[in-house]
Amino acid sequence: MSEKEIGQKWDRCLADCAIKAGAGLGLGIVFSVVFFKRRTLPIAFGTGAGLGMAYSNCQNDLRSPYLLQRNTTKEQ
Amino acid sequence: MLRVCWKGANAAAQKCLCGKVAAHPLQHCRRYTSAGNSGSAAGKIVAASLLTVGGGLGGTILYAKWDPKFRANVEKNVPYSDQLFEMTLGPPPPPFIPLQKKPIKVEPLQISSVSEASKDSKQPKSKGKSKEKQSEPAPVEPKPVAEETPAQSQQTIEAEECHECASQEPTLKERPVEEVAARLAQQDRAEQEALTALSADLEEALGTSAKFTLQAIGAQEVALTAIGTHTLKLREAMDSEDPSDKKSSQWRELDDALSERTRSVDQAGQALLQAKEQLEKLRDLINSAKESKLESARPQILAAEENLHSMIVDLDKVVTKVQAAQSEAKIVSQYSELVNEARAQFQKELSSITPEVQANWKGLTGKLSVDDLNSLIAHAHRRIDQLNRELAEQRVREQIRIEAALDQQKHEHQRAMEQTMTTAIQHSREDMRLEQEKKVQEVREVMEAEMRTQLRRQAAAHTDHLRDVLKVQEQELKEEAQENLSIKMMELETNYRRQAQEQLDSFTLDVNSAYARLQGMEEAIDSHVVAEEEARKAHQLWLSVEALNYTLKTAAADTPTEPLEGAVHAIKESCADNEFAQALTTALPEESLTRGVYSEASLRARFYNVRRLARRVALIDETRNSLYQYFLSYLQSVLLFEKEQEAPPAKLAPQDLDTFKLLAYATYSIEHGDLELAAKLINQLRGESRRVAQDWLKEARLTLETKQVISLLSAYANAVGLGTTQAP
């Protein structure tokens, strides 16, 4: 179902965001703890990186139908 | 002047008129008077004519009453006069025929000396019989006269018949042959019958008369012999000088012979009378036969007459013999009487002389004395003298007596001769008559034969002529008949042919019509069969289409229907030869066959979802598809308020191609059940909205397609079914 696709995409997006943000947070925490003496930088940085990655993934995922694929260029 | 003229003219006219009027009354008067006169005259004329006519009629009738000939004439010439005459006078009188024959004089039966023969035998009976005999000829006479009249009446009847047939001749041309033949046959038969009867009678009479005659002759001969014996005996008795006992025996014999003679004579007389009777009967019969005028009986009559004559002759001969014998006997008896008388006298004398001597003088020889003898001898001598004297006297007397006796004898002889002559004459006359009749008969026969031959000749000529004429007629008639026959045959044949042809035509027509009907029926039946087949097929199609329709209904809320493959397969089977249906079934989309289609309701429900989503991603398309745009489109969808449903216009303008508008239109259409329009509208979406509605659109398209095909099929099935339905 094409109408369910966007919902699925959004679900993926959110899931991905959560994961990535969580992962980033976690890494951030880790790094902050480990490396960066509990600075919040790495947490912020990780979370943000995570969120950013999720955001871009989401965006790519949402954009994917409109992107010209390599197959077509190859066929050209 | 004018007035004068006018007056003059008037006066002239008046004068003329008056004159005319003046003249006319006179004339009228004259006419009246003359009319009056003429009226009476006319009446007189009418009366006179009536009188003459009436007088004529009356006179005719009276004269016809008086004169039958005139009546017959009038009846012959004037039609219907016979009816008038019958009415007034009665039936016509019978025709008058004069006697054609004189009455035949019947000669009385002259049987010779019947009375004499009967007298001699001293039989009053015979006398009575002779009287009867004489009276019999008298009734014999009226008998033939009586017999004549029937013959006459018969003749008159015949003549009347002839006259009748003669009178009938003017009415009938010719008596019919059958009648003539019948009449002839009848006459012949009558003749034959009469002839047979007559011959039978004659034979019978002849037989009886012959018998009686023979009897009579026999009796007469017996009498003759008896008389002869008696006479002989008497003579013997007279002459013989036998002794007394023999004499007595002789006398006894004589008595016997006498009694015998008397008896035989009696018998002879009776037999003779009977024979005479029979002969008279025979004669009567012969006469009646002669009267009946039967030609064919003539020889028989002649024969009978001859027989009669011969019998009469024989009888007469015998009678004469008997008479001679009787006369001789008379003489002898007279002689014997005389002798007896003399004897008696002598006896008396002897007894007077010798009174004591009695009885027969011949037996006295031994008993007489001498005196007696002498006296006897004297007496005898005296007697002898006396006798001599007497003898002489007797001689003289004898002479005289002889002369007298001779005369008497002559007379008697003459008488007898005359009688015999007369009898002989009669006999000869009879013979001659018989011969004449025989000759006449022969001549008649000869003439008859000749006439017959002439008639035969004439008949032969007539038959020849008739044959010729008949031949000619036959020829003509044959030709005519042949012609008629051929014409009739032709007619009949043409008729028959025509009728046969007509029948054939009608039959052919019938057969053709029947055949055509049969053909029609067969065609009808075939068409019926075909129609039924079609109907069946249509029904099947319809049923399968209905099944397909039904399968469409099997769609649940969100699940599609069953795959339509089965039903479509069934349809394909049911209408294998229906191209339209086949085409339609092939037009069904594969998805519907394999997967089934969604129902409208589910699509409708899904549409709302699709709409929401489409609203949310309204701004997203190829160029704008970042997340920010997503957020923006979402914001737009939240903040944009518009009618949920909006009626779509007939034509879409370019500004209507906005997502929200389109969605509004689509919603409206959906709400109003127009999936097709909704699908069309949704098809106008662009961008992400389109991508979102893509599946729904596809489904909608599938459904729509299937529905369209199915509706077509159903319509087709209905149409076919309707088409196959036959109007009652």
For B266-280, write each residue's pLDDT tens digit. 887 888 788 888 888
- pLDDT for the residue B330: 76
List CB contacts (< 8 A) between A65 and chain B. 691
- pLDDT for the residue B718: 81
Closest residue of chain B to A3, computed from CA coordinates: B692
**Nearest CA of chain A to the CA of B598: how many Å?**
13
**Nearest CA of chain B to the CA of A50: how many Å?**
16
> In this complex, which of B606, B610, B622 lies closest to A66 when CB atoms are compared?
B622
Asked whether the beta carbons of residue B692 and residue A3 sit closer than 8 angstroms, the reply is yes
What residues of chain B, 129 to 158, have a C-beta less than 8 Å from chain A?
Answer: none
- pLDDT for the residue B165: 44
List CB contacts (< 8 A) between B692 and chain A. 2-3, 5-6
How close are the terminal C-alpha atoms of chain A, in Å?
A: 30
Q: Which residues of chain A have pLDDT under 50?
A: 76
For B603-644, write each residue's pLDDT tens digit. 888 888 888 888 888 888 888 888 888 889 899 989 988 888
The residues on A that touch B, with CB distances below 8 Å, are: 1-3, 5-7, 55, 58-59, 62-63, 65-66
Q: Confidence band (pLDDT; 50, 70, 90) for B600?
A: confident
> In this complex, which of A3, A58, A62 lies closest to B613 when CB atoms are compared?
A3
- CA dist list (Å): B331 to B325, B327, B335: 10, 6, 6
Query: Would you state the torsion angle of the CA atoms of residues A50, A52, A58, A62, taken in this order, to the nearest 10 degrees?
Result: -170
Residue B163 scores a pLDDT above 50: no
List CB contacts (< 8 A) between A54 and chain B. none
- pLDDT for the residue B427: 81
**Nearest CA of chain B to the CA of A29: how many Å?**
28
Q: For the residues B519-529, what does the mean pLDDT come to?
A: 83
Residue B228 tokens read as 């002869």
Residue B500 scores a pLDDT above 60: yes
Q: Which amino acid makes up residue B553?
A: K
Asked whether the beta carbons of residue B617 and residue A65 sit closer than 8 angstroms, the reply is no
Sign of CA dihedral B666, B668, B670, B676: negative
Q: For the residues B272-294, what does the mean pLDDT come to?
A: 79
Asked whether the beta carbons of residue A2 and residue B606 sit closer than 8 angstroms, the reply is no
- Using the Cβ of B700 and the Cβ atoms of chain A, whether some distance falls under 8 Å is answered with no
For B575-591, write each residue's pLDDT tens digit. 777 788 788 888 888 88
Chains A, B: CB contacts under 8 A, how many? 37
- pLDDT for the residue B638: 92
- pLDDT for the residue B355: 54
- pLDDT for the residue B488: 93
Residue B497 scores a pLDDT above 90: yes
d(CA B283, CA B551): 149
Q: For the residues B74-93, what does the mean pLDDT come to?
A: 82
- Using the Cβ of B558 and the Cβ atoms of chain A, whether some distance falls under 8 Å is answered with no
- pLDDT for the residue B126: 44
Asked whether the beta carbons of residue B609 and residue A6 sit closer than 8 angstroms, the reply is no
Angle between helices B659-671 and B600-616 (to 10 degrees): 160
Residue B154 scores a pLDDT above 50: no
List CB contacts (< 8 A) between B688 and chain A. 6
- pLDDT for the residue B498: 92
* E strands present in B44-166: none
- pLDDT for the residue B135: 44
8-state DSSP, B136 = T
- pLDDT for the residue B16: 54
Asked whether the beta carbons of residue B617 and residue A59 sit closer than 8 angstroms, the reply is no
Q: For the residues B21-25, what does the mean pLDDT come to?
A: 49
Q: Of B136, B138, B119, B135, nearest to B127 (Cα)? A: B119
Q: Which residues contact B614 (CB under 8 A, 6 or more apart)?
A: B659, B663, B685, B689, B692, B693
Q: For the residues B192-219, what does the mean pLDDT come to?
A: 80
Q: Confidence band (pLDDT; 50, 70, 90) for B341?
A: confident
B2-11, B243-252, B493-502: least confident range:
B2-11
Q: Which amino acid makes up residue B710?
A: I
List CB contacts (< 8 A) between B693 and chain A. 2-3
- pLDDT for the residue B38: 63
For B707-716, write each residue's pLDDT tens digit. 888 888 888 8
Closest residue of chain B to A57, computed from CA coordinates: B627
B209-218, B494-503, B706-715: least confident range:
B209-218
CA angle B126, B130, B134 (to 5 degrees): 170
Closest residue of chain A to B608, computed from CA coordinates: A3
- pLDDT for the residue B167: 46
List CB contacts (< 8 A) between B626 and chain A. 59, 63
B104-108, B213-217, B346-350: least confident range:
B104-108
Asked whether the beta carbons of residue B696 and residue A66 sit closer than 8 angstroms, the reply is no
Asked whether the beta carbons of residue A2 and residue B693 sit closer than 8 angstroms, the reply is yes
Closest residue of chain A to B611, computed from CA coordinates: A3
- pLDDT for the residue B124: 44
Question: DSSP readout, B141-190?
Answer: THHHHHHHHHHHHHHHHHHHHHHHHHHHTTT-SS--HHHHHHHHHHHHHH
d(CA B171, CA B156): 22
8-state DSSP, B242 = -
List CB contacts (< 8 A) between A55 and chain B. 627
- pLDDT for the residue A61: 86
> In this complex, which of B617, B627, B694 lies closest to A55 when CB atoms are compared?
B627
Phi first, then psi: give them for residue B623, nearest 5 degrees: -80, -40
Residue B381 scores a pLDDT above 70: yes
Mean per-residue pLDDT of chain B: 76
Higher per-residue pLDDT: B523 or B333: B523
Q: For the residues B213-232, what does the mean pLDDT come to?
A: 80
Residue B107 scores a pLDDT above 50: no
What residues of chain B, 579 to 608, have a C-beta less than 8 Å from chain A?
Answer: 606
- pLDDT for the residue B527: 79
- pLDDT for the residue B117: 44
Residue B674 scores a pLDDT above 60: yes
List CB contacts (< 8 A) between A3 and chain B. 606, 609-610, 613, 692-693, 695-696
Percent of chain B's residues with pLDDT above 90:
8
Q: Confidence band (pLDDT; 50, 70, 90) for B473?
A: very high
**Phi-psi region at B698: left, alpha or beta (left = phi > 0; alpha = psi -120 to 50):** alpha
Asked whether the beta carbons of residue B694 and residue A2 sit closer than 8 angstroms, the reply is yes
Asked whether the beta carbons of residue B691 and residue A63 sit closer than 8 angstroms, the reply is no
- pLDDT for the residue B657: 80
Reported ipTM: the value is: 0.88
- pLDDT for the residue B495: 92
B154-163, B257-266, B269-278, B339-348: least confident range:
B154-163
Asked whether the beta carbons of residue A6 and residue B694 sit closer than 8 angstroms, the reply is no
Q: For the residues B214-227, what does the mean pLDDT come to?
A: 80
List CB contacts (< 8 A) between A11 and chain B. none
- pLDDT for the residue B147: 42
d(CA B480, CA B487): 10
Q: Confidence band (pLDDT; 50, 70, 90) for B418?
A: confident
- Residue B326 CB neighbour total at 10 angstroms: 22
- pLDDT for the residue B95: 62
Residue B128 scores a pLDDT above 50: no
d(CA B339, CA B360): 14
d(CA B571, CA B544): 5
For B393-407, write each residue's pLDDT tens digit. 878 877 887 788 778
Q: For the residues B114-141, what does the mean pLDDT come to?
A: 45
8-state DSSP, A34 = I
Closest residue of chain B to A55, computed from CA coordinates: B627
Residue B140 scores a pLDDT above 50: no
